[in-house]
Every structure is written in structure tokens, then in C-alpha cells.
Amino acid sequence: MSISNAQATPSIQICRIMRPDDANIVGNVHGGTILKMIEEAGCIIGTRHCNSQTGDRCVAALARVERTDFLYPMFIGEVAHVSAEITYTSKNSVEVQVNVLSENIVTGTKKLTNKATLWYVPLSLQNVDKIIEVPPIEYSSPEQEEAGKKRYEAQKLERTETKERNGEIIMSVSLPEPYTVAFSQSSLIHLVGPSDCTLHGFVHGELHSSQSMSGVTMKLMDEVAGIVAARHCKTNIVTASVDAINFHRKIKKGCVITVSGRMTFTSNKSMEIEVFVDADPLVEAEKGKYRAVTAFFTYISLDKENKPLPVPPLKLEGEEEQKRFEEGKARYLQNKAKRLTDKERQQ
């Protein structure tokens, strides 16, 4: 008789009503608010699972968020139902898949608004540089485990490739022409204080920390991307999707973070914005500024009836902008083909 230490697939569900401070001026809930709830659910289930074994107590630290599509807008007064399930574990990481449903509590109507995949790494409470081994989960079939392993290897490779592109910075331009990259590019500067941090002194939502995404990292990134999109098209804009968000390095209390965004690609009805988060330690200034987080956000422009509007074409200046535009176009076409494939499978 063999004895297995694997556990049944853990899952949780949380919900809350959307308030006016969760939304923009026309009542659409901010993408950053949704991302915050998604990450909270992932952090809870990841930390619970990793502490279901004997040994060091630990926290689940967010390492990566895969592409996240915003399928339908959510509005003030609706209830968000967030369900999370662990779908794969490697030796030192946990994959969590999250679904978000919006509920109109007057009519009872429910819609699937978001699907997301997050990767966590368990870190010891005694030493946040020590990674803990993850308890295995039970799979319904060998095929399910093999599919999870393939996703793990793919995201690991992409994280490595992303790190190699992290040297770029966004330069300011005086009196830029409308509809150019320079015209809409934006930045926010934020001093990381105690309320932004976990018990370990790291920012919520950063690698090597315990997360809640409470408007610190992902919410700031969404805000900057939204400003870029609004400057470009001068209309109501909403988050349509977020490509993989990679958390590269820790952000400690006392750091000044600069969240910068720039337009990289426009289609007829969408805009891709690249967002960087750079951290500058005030106390340990000798360490210098470093790139902490990177991501691509996609926005759409809406009219007063929440119907998509055409997006003004992006005016390109120079070879670098042309190169980023072509790379954005490739991501756009790849994601469009994937959506069509997924739609055909569901029919």
C-alpha cells in the first residue's frame, strides 16, 4: 500500500459590493480594483495551501500574473464574486486560477467578467529570502498534471526573456505632437509607506512579500495606463486586458517608486500601453534605482452607451517606436487568434 502526501485541489470564494470609490466618473469599476481582488484571493489560497504541511510557516509571494482579460465591465452597486483554485504545483511555486463574476443584486443576473492565472512562491516567515517547498496537490489525470507542467515551463521562460528587456526608460519630450507616444506618456511617483507594506516591510503585490494588491502596485499601474489611454483618445476608457505582469524584485518600505506608461500599439478599437515600475531606495541609496515590475495593459475607448469607439492611430517617431509598434501588433494578432480559437472550442 502506497501513501500519498498530495492534497485535494484547494479552492476559496470571496465577494464584496462595488462602491463609488471603486469606479471612474461614469461608474465603470477600475481594472486595478478587480486586479486587487483577484490577487487577494490568490494570496489567501496560496498561503493556506503552503502552510498545510509541517515545517517553516510561510507566505505566498506573487511572482507573475498571466494575461488577464476583462470580458465585461463591472459597475457600482454590483457584487463581485471571486473564486480561486490551485491548479498546479511545482517544487517551489503554486499556480492559482481565478474567475470573477459580477452579480446585479436587483435582477439577479450574473456574468463572468474576468479570468486570471497567477503564480506564487512561498517564502519563510523567518527569512524572506528562503523559498519553501510546496505541498503537492492531487490531479484528476496525468494529462492534467502534464498540462500544468507545460504552463509552468512556458511562464518560466517568458519571465527570463522579460528580464532581458528591462533596461529601457521613458524619456520626456517638450511640446510633443498629439497622438504621438510622447504626447500621452505618463508617470506617477509614490513613496512607499508603512500602510503599503506587509509585516515583512515589502510592498503588497511584490515578489518576496505577502500580498493584497490594495492599490499599491497593480492599481497604480492600471491608473497610469488609464491616464495614457485617456490622454490619447480623450474619451471614457476601460481596461480590456492585462498581459503578463512580471514581478522581478522586492520593493521595500522607504523606496520611491516611479510608475511609467507609454503607448506602444493601437488597433482600430484598442490601445496597448507598456508600464514599468522602478524603485529607488532612499535609505540604501548606494544600491541605485532598479526595475521591479513590468506589464502591458490593453484599453478600449467607449461612448456614453458603453459601446466601443474608434481609437486614433498612433503617430510613430523613430525606429524604436516602430519596433515597439510591430511587437505590439504581433501580441495583438496572437491574442486575437487565441480568443477566436477559445470561442470555437466553446461552441
Q: Is residue 331 part of a domain?
A: yes
Task: Taking residues 130-146, report their average pLDDT.
Answer: 94
Residue 208's pLDDT band, with cuts at 50, 70 and 90, is very low
Looking at the fold, whether 49 and 191 belong to one and the same domain comes out as no
Q: In this predicted model, which residue has the larger pLDDT, 171 or 297?
A: 297
pLDDT number for residue 210:
36
Mean pLDDT of the chain: 87
Answer with the one of 140, 167, 200 that is the final residue of a domain: 140
| pLDDT > 50? residue 3 | no
Q: Is residue 47 part of a domain?
A: yes
Looking at the fold, whether 110 and 228 belong to one and the same domain comes out as no
Q: What is the C-alpha separation between 215 and 223, in angstroms, rounded?
A: 9
Q: Is residue 155 part of a domain?
A: no
Looking at the fold, whether 131 and 183 belong to one and the same domain comes out as no
Looking at the fold, whether 98 and 19 belong to one and the same domain comes out as yes
Q: Is residue 81 part of a domain?
A: yes
Residues with a known catalytic role? 24, 222
Q: Is residue 15 part of a domain?
A: yes
pLDDT number for residue 2:
30
Q: Is residue 223 part of a domain?
A: yes
CB atoms within 10 A of CB 83: 16
Q: Is residue 159 part of a domain?
A: no
Looking at the fold, whether 128 and 225 belong to one and the same domain comes out as no
pLDDT number for residue 251:
80
| pLDDT > 60? residue 212 | no
pTM: 0.82
CATH number for the domain that contains residue 63: 3.10.129.10
Looking at the fold, whether 190 and 288 belong to one and the same domain comes out as yes
Answer with the one of 140, 162, 191 that is the final residue of a domain: 140
Contact assessment for residue 118 and residue 38, using Cβ atoms and an 8 Å cutoff = yes
Residue 173's pLDDT band, with cuts at 50, 70 and 90, is low
Could you tell me if residue 318 is left (phi over 0), alpha (psi between -120 and 50 degrees) or otherwise beta?
left
Summarize pLDDT for 242-282 with one digit per residue, the tens: 988 998 887 877 889 999 999 999 999 999 999 999 999 88
Measured N-to-C along each axis, helices 218-233 and 31-50 cross at an angle, to the nearest 10 degrees, of: 160
Q: Is residue 164 part of a domain?
A: no
Looking at the fold, whether 211 and 311 belong to one and the same domain comes out as yes
Cα–Cα nearest to 188, from 203, 201, 206, 170: 170
Cα–Cα nearest to 75, from 15, 23, 38, 35: 23
pLDDT number for residue 163:
64
Q: What are phi and psi of 49, to 5 degrees?
A: -65, -45
Looking at the fold, whether 42 and 87 belong to one and the same domain comes out as yes
Summarize pLDDT for 217-250 with one digit per residue, the tens: 888 999 999 999 999 999 999 999 998 899 888 7
> What DSSP element (H or E) covers 310?
none
Total tally of structural domains belonging to the chain: 2
Looking at the fold, whether 234 and 281 belong to one and the same domain comes out as yes
Answer with the one of 118, 140, 162 that is the final residue of a domain: 140
Contact assessment for residue 207 and residue 61, using Cβ atoms and an 8 Å cutoff = yes
Task: Taking residues 320-326, report their average pLDDT.
Answer: 96
Q: In this predicted model, which residue has the larger pLDDT, 35 or 252?
A: 35
Task: Taking residues 117-138, report their average pLDDT.
Answer: 91
pLDDT number for residue 161:
72
| Range(s) of the domain holding residue 192 | 177-340
Looking at the fold, whether 232 and 320 belong to one and the same domain comes out as yes
Share of the chain above pLDDT 90, in %: 62
Integer angstrom CA distances of residue 324 from 226, 264, 265, 273, 321: 19, 6, 7, 11, 5
pLDDT number for residue 258:
94
Looking at the fold, whether 189 and 333 belong to one and the same domain comes out as yes
Summarize pLDDT for 64-76 with one digit per residue, the tens: 999 898 999 999 9
Task: Taking residues 323-333, report their average pLDDT.
Answer: 96
| pLDDT > 80? residue 150 | yes
Looking at the fold, whether 187 and 243 belong to one and the same domain comes out as yes
